[in-house]
């Protein structure tokens, strides 16, 4: 920051600090009498001697009740007791960001989680920012290669598009994310692992992402054992880091696993501050933060953030509240089907239930026609599969079904891809048009 900028900030600096005192702790919530603060402000709760900075706990103002301030800590409430001093900072949470963060694994507050020393001289940014002005968003008119044949050919993703990966547990979301992170042509990856099991974090980084993928990635981790507010902040911190690089003209690949766990964490916070449970137990604040969070990615006048959000569907119910809400906000969805995974098809993408809403604007006419033709052949076979398997279909009864039977093995082979196999978008489109041309 320049000296002139620092001087200009002097009139706005407070000449005194504001303090309050903890009155009680109820569950996840801390009540204090004072200090004067606003929603979202960062506060420090001193659990030992006030001068000892190691004894302070970071907390955030999440609400008010009569004359009391409601706080929620970023860590455990275990050491907090009535009478603890609460110091207001009069500003929201900030994290430090810079190009030297690439290759690091961070926690929700931007601290190193991999034991590596963080570089100095980085820029502080707010974790909670407004989405770009809709009139300053350039149209999506260029495809982005992700290296997964089914996506590049049948569900083509545009640079700056936001797309959801919908699946139940154990169907291959993390594996697909790792393939995309390793194979994409984006400038860098920002990956948020929210609410993951501690065991799965290292497995994803070492097995799914790999050393080559980590070299061009920034990973933000908030495991399932951490407080709800810290899991929410993990999503906000990762988005802020992606925005920083977008504003410097880069094309960022952003991945969050999973937005469902962010919603669950917000439900915990909402219930703790007294919000009424509404749709299947989710509080109203859940449905207000989701569009605000998801709209922050996409394009702006400087660069782009192409975002993949995984949605963990409860009991494979793709119409549950969070899945339905996210599907209405983003620009397309990829459905991973457990039945396909059980048959050994990886990635287990159900092409007929998936869609990219910008594909028709960014692909050539032959590409679009080939994709439509392959979908038609696949749909014809799937609709008649039961009859074919039990031998009730007689060859020659329908020309469309006969074609679908003839070309189904080639289509099935096309939809399968090894996790270590990288296929360019040009090769994927050539293979697609070859199959579709034969099917005509």
Residue 7 maps to a domain = no
Same domain, 335 and 402: no
Residue 12 maps to a domain = no
Same domain, 331 and 372: no
CATH number of the domain residue 79 falls in: 2.40.10.170
Cα separation, 373 vs 440, in Å, equals: 8
Same domain, 192 and 318: yes
Last residue of one domain, picked from the residues 336, 362, 388: 362
Residue 1 maps to a domain = no
Same domain, 166 and 106: yes
Q: What is the pLDDT of residues 73-112, one digit of tens each?
A: 988 777 888 889 999 988 899 999 999 999 999 999 998 8
Same domain, 226 and 312: yes
Q: What is the pLDDT of residues 144-192, one digit of tens each?
A: 999 999 999 999 999 999 999 999 888 888 889 989 999 999 999 999 9
CATH number of the domain residue 143 falls in: 3.40.50.12240
CATH number of the domain residue 426 falls in: 1.20.1270.330
* Contact in structure between 109 and 231 (CB atoms under 8 Å): no
**pLDDT above 80: residue 295:** yes
**Which residues, in sequence order, are bridge partners of residue 364?**
none
Same domain, 255 and 286: yes
Same domain, 249 and 111: yes
CA 156, distance to chain mean position in Å, is: 19
What three-state secondary structure class fits 122?
coil
Last residue of one domain, picked from the residues 362, 387, 406: 362
Same domain, 61 and 103: no
Q: Who wins on pLDDT, 186 or 27?
A: 186
Exposed / middle / buried, residue 342 (Cβ in 10 Å: 0-12, 13-18, 19+): exposed
Last residue of one domain, picked from the residues 61, 92, 123: 92
Residue 31 maps to a domain = yes
Q: What is the pLDDT of residues 329-358, one digit of tens each?
A: 999 999 999 889 988 899 999 999 999 999
Containing domain of residue 44, as a range? 18-92
């Amino acid at each position: 920051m320049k000296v002139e900028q620092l001087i200009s900030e002097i009139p706005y600096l407070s000449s005194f600090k504001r303090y309050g005192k903890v009155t009680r702790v109820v569950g996840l919530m801390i009540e204090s009498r004072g200090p004067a603060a606003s929603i979202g402000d960062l506060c420090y709760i001193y659990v030992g001697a006030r001068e000892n900075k190691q004894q302070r706990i970071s907390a955030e103002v999440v609400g008010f009740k009569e004359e009391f301030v409601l706080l929620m800590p970023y860590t455990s409430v275990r050491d907090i007791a009535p009478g603890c001093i609460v110091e207001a900072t009069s500003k929201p949470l900030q994290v430090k960001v810079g190009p030297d963060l690439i290759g690091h694994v961070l926690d929700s507050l931007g601290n190193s989680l991999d034991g590596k020393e963080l570089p100095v001289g980085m820029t502080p940014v707010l974790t909670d920012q407004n989405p770009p002005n809709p009139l300053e968003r350039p149209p999506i008119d260029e495809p982005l290669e992700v290296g997964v044949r089914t996506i590049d050919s049948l569900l083509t993703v545009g640079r700056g598009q936001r797309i959801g990966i919908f699946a139940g547990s154990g169907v291959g979301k993390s594996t697909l994310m790792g393939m995309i992170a390793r194979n994409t042509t984006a400038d860098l990856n920002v990956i948020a692992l929210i609410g993951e099991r501690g065991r799965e974090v290292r497995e994803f980084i070492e097995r799914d992402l790999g050393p080559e993928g980590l070299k061009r990635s920034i990973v933000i981790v908030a495991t399932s054992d951490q407080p709800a507010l810290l899991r929410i902040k993990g999503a906000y911190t990762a988005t802020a880091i992606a925005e920083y690089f977008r504003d410097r003209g880069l094309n960022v690949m952003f991945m969050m696993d999973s937005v469902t766990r962010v919603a669950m964490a917000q439900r915990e916070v909402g219930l703790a501050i007294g919000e009424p449970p509404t749709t299947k137990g989710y509080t109203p604040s859940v449905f207000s933060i989701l569009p605000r969070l998801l709209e922050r990615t996409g394009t702006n006048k400087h660069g782009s953030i192409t975002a993949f959000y995984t949605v963990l569907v409860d009991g494979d119910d793709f119409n549950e509240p969070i899945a339905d809400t996210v599907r209405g906000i983003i620009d397309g969805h990829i459905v991973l089907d457990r039945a396909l995974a059980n048959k050994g098809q990886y990635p287990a993408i159900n092409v007929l239930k998936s869609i990219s809403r910008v594909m028709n604007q960014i692909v050539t006419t032959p590409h679009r026609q080939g994709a439509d033709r392959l979908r038609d052949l696949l749909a014809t076979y799937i609709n008649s599969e039961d009859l074919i398997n039990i031998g009730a279909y007689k060859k020659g009864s329908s020309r469309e079904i006969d074609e679908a039977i003839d070309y189904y093995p080639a289509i099935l082979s096309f939809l399968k891809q090894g996790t270590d196999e990288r296929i360019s978008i040009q090769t994927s489109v050539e293979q697609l048009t070859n199959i579709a041309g034969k099917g005509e």
